[in-house]
Amino acid sequence: QVQLVESGGGLVQAGASLRVSCVASGRTLRRYNMAWFRQAPGAPGKEREFVARISASGVITSYADSVKGRFTISRDNAEDTVYLQMNNLKPEDTAVYYCAGGSVYAITPQLYTMWGQGTQVTVSS
């Protein structure tokens, strides 16, 4: 049973940077496409919002328009770790950030079969 564990969240001021990480245990991630999603506070009933995705090889990436140019997704398959580098953070980036993995390269959360528990990112103005 694979487990994904996110870390690196925290409270920062607008304009700051954070890097969140997702580490897998129980199974290697190198064959899976990976993605980051987020869920804003006060929106537990809404679908998780796509943030970024990366192919299994790490060659192909894509981003939500709201984070393009500010966030970078990367992976280290040797360490079974996926990263999300977030620069120039804005208050509207405040959310719980979730790591997800699966066999599809998608922006729809329902298509991912592996999920972490999430890490809180809070950006103050």
pLDDT for the residue numbered 27: 80
Residue showing tokens 């970078």: 72
Q: Tell whether the model's pLDDT for residue 1 goes beyond 80.
A: no
Which residues partner with 6 through β-bridges? 22
- Average pLDDT over every residue of 79-104: 96
Tell me how far apart the alpha carbons of residues 109 and 102 are, in angstroms, rounded to a whole number: 10
pLDDT for the residue numbered 5: 95
Contact by Cβ (8 Å): 23, 5: yes
Is the alpha carbon torsion for 2, 99, 121, 14 positive or negative? Answer: positive
Q: One-letter amino acid identity for 36?
A: W
Contact by Cβ (8 Å): 113, 57: no
Contact by Cβ (8 Å): 86, 70: yes
Contact by Cβ (8 Å): 2, 25: yes
Tell me how far apart the alpha carbons of residues 69 and 52 are, in angstroms, rounded to a whole number: 11
How high does pLDDT run on average in the chain? 94
